[in-house]
Every structure is written in C-alpha cells, then in structure tokens.
C-alpha cells in the first residue's frame, strides 16, 4: 500500500496554497468585516478552473478525482473557511445533481457555465423545523400537468443572494416521510422564489446564509432529478458520502492552520525567561495536535481513495466526518490555550479558527446522526 501523494498531487497542493495565500488571505479582514466574499475572488477561483476540478473534461472540467478535491478543500480551508465553504458549494452540492442527473440541455444551460464561473448554484435542504430529520421536511412539490408546483421555506441556504439556480429538496409524497422526498432544479428567477433575511452568525461569517421562500413556484416536470418520483432519497445518498469526506477536509485544513500558528507562537513567546515551547505542558498540547492531524489525514485520504475506486464508503465517510471535526475542535481549543488571552483577540486568527470549525458540526449530518449511521452500518457487516 502506498500512503504517499504523487508528485502531481504535491504540486497541485502547493499551487492551491500559493493561490489562497496570494488572492484570499490578504482580503480576510475585509471579508470578516463586511461578512461577504467579493465577486472578484470568485472570478479568480473560476480562472484557475477550480470549479470544474471534480468534473470531466467533456463538460469543461479538470477531470480530477476525490483525492485531488480533498487536497483542494483542505488547502482552501487552511486559508479561510468561508471561501472554502462557498467554493465547495459550487464544486459539489450546488452542481453535482446537475452533472449526475440533469438533461443535456440543463448541463449546457447551467453546469457548463457554472464550471466557468458564469453561473452559480446552491443546495436547499434545511428548513426551520428540521435539517437532520428529513422526514419532517414541509416543502412540497405537487404535480400539475407538465409542471410541479413547489411551496415551502428553506433556511441556512449558502450563497442564496448570489446564485442563479437551486437544487431543492421537496416532498412529492408528504405521507412517505424521508422516502417521499425528491430533488428539483429550480431557477432562482422563477416567479415565487424569494430570498429572505440573512442569518447573522459567528461561524464562517462571510459564507452568507439566508432564508429562502417558495410560493407556488412552477417548474417543468423535467426539472425533477431522476426522472420519476420516489428516487430523491436514493439520489441524495449518492452525494452525502462525498460531502462528509470533504467536510472533514475542511476541518483538517482549519486544524492545520491552528497548529502551525500555535507552533510558531510557542517558539516566539517567552515566559519565565524561555520560549514556552520548552515547557512540557506546551509540548504535549502540540504533540496531541499532531496525533489528531495525522489520524485525520489518513482517514480522509483513505476514504477519498475508496470513493475513487468505486468501493463502499458509508462507514469510512461517516467516521471521517465525526472524528475529524471533533479532532479539529480539540486542536483549535488547545490553540487558544497556547495563545492565552491573545487567543480571544479579534485581530488574531486563532479566535476565527475557534469559531469557524464549529460550522462543520452540523453539515452533512449532526454528530449524533453520524454515530447512528456508523452503528447501523457496522451491524450490516
């Protein structure tokens, strides 16, 4: 077994890191203050071809695999979580259904322009009454001739003001629980689609999350992904493992940043006439960070490799999401302790890492539901 990255992957990692440090890092104070990401940063990401990283060349993509995409997300998150979250939405959740299940006409109209950075997409799952509990979803899609009529409200929708099209989860059979859910392509400019209030949050503040309303929104019947009702939950399961592994990559990137800055600070900060890194208590904190980072790295890239081989990954993806996000919490917490009071100073990066990493506890399933998934899957073995 070869656990090393290829020379091409290492070059790619370095390229992404240099890109983020050059174009994203200097703008972080501005983005934190305004709580938004400037359009020119999205344009720069598009110029590099990163939006098409995980899609094949025939649709304008780069033909990359899950390992390469995990490298990309890890390095972008090491720089700035909000930009990584928005980019992941465009590269994965906002466009994956189009690629897998969209018609050729829909790919030409939405996917290919999205890869070029000319159009933007997002995913609409969570509602005020539930996120993890898909069976509690209240948004409905009712067939009316050659159209579906969608009604409902979504919450925590990333980039709702900037996007052009939506992947919307709605119930076609309200009595069937989560198995009554289907997925729809909805253009944001359709009558009845309304962006609500911005959700003011302390985590990933520039990622931009909003309420979104659907009031008698009509879409053609061919906007139902999968071609027939009752397939939505099965289609959704195809993407959840991807989201979980790459959510873990976000956590790893943030944790690495916290560790690297903590290590540097511990070398520079002097107390009792010597650098604090000379104290065993500090050494142990840094050592435990390394343990968690190395374990996280192995879990993530093994799961990504499994996906690239087309092998089952239900357990591995869930383990990734649970362990790495929890490990990241431990790392950023210890980082604040190494920095002491400066760890809470708003002009220091550590407080941002401490806040942002909590963003990852909820997406792709809460920690409790992830444990339920692992427990269910291991009983099938």
pLDDT per residue as tens digits for the range 138-174? 999 999 999 999 999 999 999 999 999 999 999 999 9
Average pLDDT over residues 257-268: 98
Top-level class of domain 233-378: mainly alpha
pLDDT band at 1 (very low <50, low <70, confident <90, very high): low
Residue 201's pLDDT is: 95
Residue 250's pLDDT is: 98
CATH 2.40.110.10 describes domain 121-229: yes
DSSP E strands in the chain: the ranges are: 121-124, 140-144, 147-158, 165-171, 181-187, 193-198, 209-220, 270-271, 274-275
Determine whether 187 is exposed, middle or buried from the number of CB atoms within 10 Å of its CB (0-12, 13-18, 19+): middle
- Indicate whether 177 pLDDT > 90: no
Residue 363's pLDDT is: 84
CATH of domain 7-116: 1.10.540.10
Residue 129's pLDDT is: 85
pLDDT band at 183 (very low <50, low <70, confident <90, very high): very high
Stretch(es) of the chain classified as CATH 1.10.540.10: 7-116
Distance CA 109, CA 78 (A): 33
Percent of residues, the chain, with pLDDT higher than 90: 92
**Mean pLDDT across the chain, nearest whole number?**
95
207, 223 in Cβ contact below 8 A?
A: no
Dump pLDDT digits (tens) for 62-114: 999 999 999 999 999 999 999 999 999 999 999 999 999 999 999 999 999 99
Dump pLDDT digits (tens) for 24-64: 999 999 999 999 999 999 999 999 999 999 999 999 999 99
Distance CA 156, CA 146 (A): 30
Distance CA 174, CA 136 (A): 9
Read off φ and ψ for residue 142, nearest 5 degrees.
Answer: -110, 130
- Indicate whether 130 pLDDT > 80: no
Stretch(es) of the chain classified as CATH 2.40.110.10: 121-229
Stretch(es) of the chain classified as CATH 1.20.140.10: 233-378
- Indicate whether 178 pLDDT > 90: no
Distances (CA, A) of 144 to 216, 218, 336: 11, 9, 56
Bridge-partner residues for 12, per DSSP? none
């Amino acid at each position: 077994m070869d656990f090393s990255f290829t020379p091409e992957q290492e070059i790619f990692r370095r390229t992404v890191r240099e890109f983020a440090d050059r174009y994203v890092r200097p703008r972080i104070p501005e983005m934190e203050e305004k709580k938004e990401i400037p359009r020119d940063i999205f344009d720069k990401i598009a110029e590099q071809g990163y939006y098409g990283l995980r899609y094949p060349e025939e649709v304008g993509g780069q033909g990359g695999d899950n390992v390469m995409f995990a490298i990309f997300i890890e390095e972008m998150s090491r720089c700035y979580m909000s930009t990584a979250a928005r980019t992941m939405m465009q590269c994965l959740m906002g466009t994956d259904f189009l690629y897998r299940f969209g018609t050729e006409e829909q790919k030409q109209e939405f996917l290919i322009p999205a890869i070029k950075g000319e159009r933007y997409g997002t995913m609409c799952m969570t509602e005020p009454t539930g996120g993890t509990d898909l069976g509690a979803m209240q948004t409905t899609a009712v067939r009316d001739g050659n159209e579906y009529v969608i009604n409902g409200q979504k919450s925590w929708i990333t980039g709702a003001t900037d996007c052009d099209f939506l992947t919307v989860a709605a119930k076609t059979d309200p009595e069937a629980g989560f198995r009554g859910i289907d997925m729809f392509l909805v253009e944001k400019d359709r009558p009845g689609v309304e962006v609500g209030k911005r959700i003011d949050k302390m985590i990933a503040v520039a990622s931009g999350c909003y309420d979104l309303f659907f009031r008698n929104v009509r879409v053609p019947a061919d906007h139902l992904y999968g071609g027939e009702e009752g397939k939505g939950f099965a289609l959704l399961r195809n993407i959840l493992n991807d989201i979980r592994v790459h959510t873990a990559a976000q956590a790893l990137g943030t944790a690495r940043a916290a560790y690297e800055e903590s290590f540097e600070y511990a070398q520079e900060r002097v107390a009792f006439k010597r650098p604090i890194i000379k104290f065993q208590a500090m050494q142990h904190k840094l050592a435990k960070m390394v343990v968690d980072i190395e374990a996280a790295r192995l879990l993530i890239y093994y799961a990504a490799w499994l996906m690239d081989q087309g092998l089952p990954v239900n357990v591995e993806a869930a383990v990734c999401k649970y362990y790495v996000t929890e490990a990241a919490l431990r790392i950023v917490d210890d980082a604040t302790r190494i920095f002491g009071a400066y760890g809470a100073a708003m002009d220091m990066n550590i407080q941002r890492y401490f806040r942002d990493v909590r963003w990852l506890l909820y997406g792709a399933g809460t920690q409790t539901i992830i444990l339920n998934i692992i427990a269910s899957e291991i009983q099938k073995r």
